[in-house]
Amino acid sequence: MEYKTIDLCAGIGGIRRGFELTGKFKNVLSAEIDKYACVTYEHLYGENPKNDLTSEEFKEKVANTEYDILLAGFPCQTFSRAGLQMGFRDTTKGTIFFSIADIISRTQPKAVFLENVENLISHDGGRTIQTIVNILENELDYRIIGVTLDENGEYAYTRKSFIRNSKNFGLPQNRPRAYIMAFSKKQYGAAIKMLNEDLPESGTNFIARDLTDIRADCR
């Protein structure tokens, strides 16, 4: 079975590429506003992803697109330790997540895959990830891998619930990032309880063992 994805905050298509390498996913719609990223994306995939995901026009386009999984590496600069860490107070990049949540609410994909910097988890004393978890779990009714309910009915998770490093999954790169994988409770019903409790911590299928392999793959 081939699942359909949409690629939001697409950059040059790195997340999309990872999914497509499995042979089980096909991308049907993309959104990116950086002009240089759009040029590279079009060179790599033969399609121009220039769309503003915050616009009503694009949200309607998504609503009229049949797809299964929403992918989004939403802007990280405002959550990164290398920046001002304004988070959701940055009304240009920091609030993109809420537009993504709006698209999820309107279109109800089977699953959602979000990626951001490692510092997203500890940003603003943990309140940023708490907001994201609450919106996905409570408001949108999705089950996040790595998030459980404690004895008081509160959402429980740790940094380890979300942080994974690409060096442990077949890439010669030390890159810890935050990954949020969520599945629709409405779509899967009781089967949602069969999901793994945690994201995998490593993979045995090496995409590239060194930089030579990567250069060869790009020719």
Q: What is the DSSP letter of 158?
A: -
Report the SS3 class of residue 179. strand
Question: CA-to-CA distance for 202 and 200, rounded, in angstroms?
Answer: 6
Catalytic residue, chosen from 9, 38, 76, 218, is: 76
Distance CA 214, CA 172 (A): 9
- Beta-strand relationship, 3-8 and 69-72: parallel
Instruction: Determine if residue 162 is left, alpha or beta; phi over 0 gives left, psi from -120 to 50 gives alpha, anything else beta.
Output: alpha
> Is 8 within 8 Å of 71 (Cβ atoms)?
yes
Catalytic-residue membership of 218:
no
Q: Which helix (H) or strand (E) holds 60?
A: helix 56-63
Query: Which tokens go with 111?
Result: 């699953």
Cα 21 to Cα 145: distance, rounded to the nearest angstrom? 22
What are the residue numbers of the active site?
76
